[in-house]
């Protein structure tokens, strides 16, 4: 089995390259993704190798960018749109939620929309306003969209290819704080279906669930908890819509306790939906209320305060202690 160690960003680049090699209909579009290679260099050298007709530098007009991608998908292409930063997606929100998400259903399934919207999201990079948002709940709430978020280089490499092959629109949330983290990528073996959640650490006392950058925080918390005599099972959600509840419910039935963690604000969030569904499906196995750890219900603060706003291992461990106290 061929394995390579690379950063998350390089794994994304390799996955995009593999998809473009495999299908000439795949094209990339975005602001500064060509000669510059993107703000985070995820598309570095792709314009050089595939040409300006397949890797397009676009104007700073997100609504027009997504609208153009919809037209290209109607014409048989498989466009991949990069939204430079999470907070910049909102000018394109109308195109995504009222057009892209609805067109296939509007045409009774006869018009596929194979469009991928790549959104670098989340905090931990000390950026300014509109550069550290977590808008995943907006899109997970919208019927007709698939929403996924890898947490490792291996998932980044495979999930972007799976997303591009999908005939449905996919919102591809990339935790930007993970771009520089290295990991092994198995070039020949896919880690599993695009929408499958996965147990990444076995445990017996508490189930910890999260996605994107939060998975690393949960693993850190689980390692600390183990030293204190508590065994935590960690589940990487991977897909936010649809959600694969099987591994989560199985784990909660075994541990009897669950803590969900996310960077986004807690009010009406993905975490609230998961907590409600797990309570419905595993109520008689729960030995304590489901605990949620999240960003606070305020706009993302200035960079110097992000350490207070973003959940860390200490806040996760506090929730673990609270659930064990029942």
- 131 an active-site residue? yes
Give the per-residue SS3 of 5-17.
EEEHHHHHHHHHH
- Read off the tokens for 70: 């919809």
**Per-residue confidence (pLDDT) for residue 40, from 0 to 100:** 95
294: left (phi over 0), alpha (psi -120 to 50) or beta: beta
Backbone angles phi, psi at 151, to 5 degrees: -120, -10
* CATH number 3.30.830.10 is the correct assignment for the domain at 198-324: no
Name the residue with tokens 């019927």. 143
**Per-residue confidence (pLDDT) for residue 188, from 0 to 100:** 87
First CA to last CA distance, the chain: 46
Task: Give, as one character, the DSSP assignment of residue 282.
Answer: S
8 A C-beta contact, residue 102 and residue 232: no
d(CA 212, CA 87): 17
What are the domain boundaries of the chain? 3-186, 198-324
What is the CATH code of the structural domain delimited by 3-186?
A: 3.40.50.970
- Tell me the chain's radius of gyration from C-alpha atoms: 19
**Per-residue confidence (pLDDT) for residue 166, from 0 to 100:** 97
Active-site hit among 107, 124, 130, 131:
131
8 A C-beta contact, residue 121 and residue 173: yes
Write the burial class of residue 97 (CB in 10 Å: 0-12 exposed, 13-18 middle, 19+ buried): middle
**Per-residue confidence (pLDDT) for residue 258, from 0 to 100:** 98
Q: Which pLDDT tens digits describe the chain residue by residue (326 residues)?
A: 789 999 999 999 999 999 999 999 999 999 999 999 999 999 999 999 999 999 999 999 999 999 999 999 999 999 999 999 999 999 999 999 999 999 999 999 999 999 999 999 998 888 878 888 999 999 999 999 999 999 999 999 999 999 999 999 999 999 999 999 999 999 988 888 999 999 999 999 999 999 999 999 999 999 999 999 999 999 999 999 999 999 999 999 999 999 999 999 999 999 999 999 999 999 999 999 999 999 999 999 888 899 899 999 999 999 999 999 99
d(CA 101, CA 71): 14
**Per-residue confidence (pLDDT) for residue 189, from 0 to 100:** 83
Task: Give, as one character, the DSSP assignment of residue 98.
Answer: I
- Read off the tokens for 61: 């007009």
Quick check: do 3-186 and 198-324 share a fold? yes
């Amino acid at each position: 089995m061929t394995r390579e160690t690379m950063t998350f960003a390089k794994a994304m680049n390799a996955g995009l390259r593999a998809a473009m090699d495999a299908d000439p209909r795949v094209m990339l579009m975005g602001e500064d993704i060509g000669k510059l290679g993107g703000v985070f260099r995820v598309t570095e050298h792709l314009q050089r190798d595939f040409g300006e007709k397949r890797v397009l530098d676009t104007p700073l007009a997100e609504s027009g960018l997504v609208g153009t991608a919809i037209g290209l998908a109607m014409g048989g292409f498989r466009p991949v749109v990069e939204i430079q930063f999470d907070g910049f997606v909102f000018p394109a929100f109308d195109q995504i939620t009222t057009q892209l998400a609805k067109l296939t259903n509007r045409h009774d399934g006869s018009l596929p929309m194979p469009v991928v919207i790549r959104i670098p999201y989340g905090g931990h990079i000390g950026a300014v306003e509109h550069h550290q948002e977590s808008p995943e709940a907006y899109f997970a709430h919208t019927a007709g969209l698939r929403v996924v978020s890898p947490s490792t280089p291996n998932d980044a490499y495979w999930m972007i290819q799976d997303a591009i092959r999908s005939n449905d629109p996919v919102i591809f949330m990339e935790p930007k704080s993970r771009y520089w983290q290295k990991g092994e990528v198995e070039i020949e073996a896919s880690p599993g279906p695009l929408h499958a959640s996965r147990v990444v650490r076995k445990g017996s006392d508490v189930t910890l669930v999260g996605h994107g950058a939060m998975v690393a925080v949960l693993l850190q918390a689980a390692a600390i908890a183990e030293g204190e005599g508590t065994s935590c099972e960690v589940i990487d959600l991977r897909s936010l819509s649809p959600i694969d509840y099987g591994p989560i419910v199985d784990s909660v039935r075994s541990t009897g306790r669950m803590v969900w963690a996310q960077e986004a604000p807690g009010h009406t969030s993905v975490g609230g939906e998961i907590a409600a569904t797990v309570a419905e499906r595993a109520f008689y196995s729960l030995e304590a209320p489901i605990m949620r750890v999240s960003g606070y219900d305020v706009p993302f603060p200035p960079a110097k305060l992000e350490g207070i706003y973003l959940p860390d291992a200490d806040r996760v461990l506090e929730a673990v202690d609270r659930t064990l106290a029942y």
